[in-house]
Structure 1
């Protein structure tokens, strides 16, 4: 029987990755069903899964405030960057596409990856969140996935 090129093959690791994503999705859905009135366990399992799947030392969830003018830190995973997490906790991200790619991701409902945070206009302009991410958090690459 000929193989289907669209299906993951066991020899290239995509099958294992697909299974890992499926398991993460199952765990998230289980927690959602058990935690209807408490968002923290849901955020925790989402962040744990995201950090594991992306091999990321830091992951966080930010949500728009009631006025939809800022993104506020709601949860994070990773304790290696306390100054950066403290900064994010005390300094919400402006919900403005001119100020952060995170805002662009949220407002446009699309995933954005920035391979080098030192490249681009926001770094050159000295945007405070960008500079703090690099200098206090040691962040070099950013993957932003809106929860829609």
Structure 2
């Protein structure tokens, strides 16, 4: 496996989405603060993974989410849940090299944002919450490979 430091935009999109999930109802100033703190947590986790993988000791670069950037990411997060999911998957993959990844706050943030974004997908709210016993066997599904 390899690992790299993801783009600031990837981090910012996830941080702003997380702030929307957890910071709902808070003031704009507090939301900006929360988004910036979240971005730092995610970036540190990404650096920890890359540093562990390549036995390096690089320090995370600075990342700042300004009001305009926050607004842009907030719009993207709401309107493009698949982009959010893709960014979460990317950051998760690039941050998983560290042996403590599964226990880190960054992993929890990503998992929270993924679940939020999945709920935004068209049709999600109409999906079944589990299947009844025998429901699959009642369905008429044709697998073209079984016909050959």
Does the TM-score normalized on the shorter chain lie above 0.5? no
- Structure 1 or 2: more strand by fraction: 1
Structure showing the higher helix proportion among its residues: 2
Larger relative CO (CA 8 A, sep 6+): 1 or 2? 2
Compare CA radii of gyration and give the structure with the larger one: 2
Structure 1 length as normaliser, TM-score?
Answer: 0.24
TM-score by length of 2: 0.24
